[in-house]
C-alpha cells in the first residue's frame, strides 16, 4: 500500500498495486526468446514496479528486437492489476559480462578483466568453460643475459569467483 497526498487534502489517501514477481517476468521473457538467438542477460524489478530488462544475442540486438520484446511482455501483464514501468534494452558494449553466452560470444576479442584483488588484466579471450576462462596476455620480460625486454604471450586462467568484472575492451587507434 502506498500513501499519496493530494494537494489541499487534510489526510493522505491510499492505493494498492501488486508487486510484480521477477520470476513471472523472467518466465515471459524466456518463453519469448526460446527459439531465437537472443537471450536474457539481466532483469531487475525496482520499487514501484519499474522493470528493467537487458538482453543480448549471438547476433547484434536491434531496437526492433527491444520493441518486439517490450510489446510481448506488455501483452502478458495486466496494467490495471500490475501498475508498472518497462524498459527493454540491449547489453551495453562497455558493460561487464553477466552471462556465460556473453563470454562465448567474445572469444577472440580483447577483454579487460578486473580481479577482486583489484588487479587489471587485458588480453584476448581465448577459451571459456563453465567455471573459468582463459585470456592470452602480452607482457614484457627480460631474458637472462639479454639487454632488452622482449614481448611474450602467456595464457592466464581466471575463475569467475575471483573476478569482479570482465568486459569487452574498446580501443580507439
Which of 39, 72, 90 is at the close of a domain?
90
Check pLDDT > 80 for residue 10.
no
Q: Is the dihedral of CA 124, 122, 113, 96 positive or negative?
A: negative
Mean pLDDT, to the nearest integer, of 110-118?
96
| pTM, entire model | 0.76
Question: How many structural domains does the chain have?
Answer: 2
Query: SS3 breakdown of the chain: % helix, strand, coil, rounded to 5?
Result: 20, 40, 40
What is the per-residue pLDDT for 4? 43
pLDDT band per the 50, 70, 90 thresholds, residue 5: very low
pLDDT band per the 50, 70, 90 thresholds, residue 89: very high
Domain ranges, residue 142: 100-168
Distances (CA, A) of 121 to 49, 101, 124, 171: 38, 21, 10, 15
Q: Are residues 112 and 73 in the same domain?
A: no
Q: Is residue 95 part of a domain?
A: no
Which of 23, 55, 90 is at the close of a domain?
90
Q: Is residue 149 part of a domain?
A: yes
What is the per-residue pLDDT for 17? 54
Which of 32, 66, 90 is at the close of a domain?
90
Distance CA 142, CA 151 (A): 9
Mean pLDDT, to the nearest integer, of 97-117?
95
CATH number at residue 114: 2.30.30.100
Mean pLDDT, to the nearest integer, of 151-168?
96
What is the per-residue pLDDT for 69? 97
Tell me the H-state helices in the chain. 22-33, 63-76, 100-105
Amino acid at each position: 500500500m502506498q500513501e499519496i497526498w493530494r494537494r489541499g487534502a487534510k489526510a493522505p489517501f491510499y492505493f494498492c498495486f501488486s508487486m510484480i514477481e521477477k520470476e513471472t517476468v523472467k518466465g515471459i521473457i524466456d518463453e519469448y526468446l526460446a527459439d531465437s538467438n537472443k537471450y536474457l542477460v539481466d532483469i531487475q524489478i525496482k520499487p514501484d514496479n519499474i522493470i528493467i530488462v537487458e538482453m543480448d544475442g549471438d547476433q547484434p540486438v536491434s531496437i526492433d528486437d527491444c520493441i518486439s520484446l517490450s510489446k510481448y511482455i506488455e501483452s502478458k501483464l495486466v496494467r490495471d492489476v500490475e501498475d508498472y514501468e518497462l524498459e527493454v534494452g540491449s547489453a551495453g558494449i562497455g558493460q561487464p559480462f553477466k552471462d556465460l553466452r556473453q563470454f562465448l560470444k567474445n572469444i577472440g576479442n580483447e577483454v579487460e578483466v578486473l580481479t577482486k584483488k583489484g588487479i587489471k588484466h587485458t588480453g584476448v579471450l581465448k577459451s571459456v568453460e563453465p567455471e573459468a576462462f582463459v585470456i592470452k596476455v602480452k607482457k614484457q620480460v627480460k631474458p637472462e643475459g639479454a639487454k632488452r625486454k622482449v614481448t611474450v604471450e602467456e595464457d592466464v586462467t581466471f575463475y569467475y569467483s575471483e573476478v569482479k568484472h570482465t568486459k569487452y575492451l574498446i580501443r580507439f587507434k
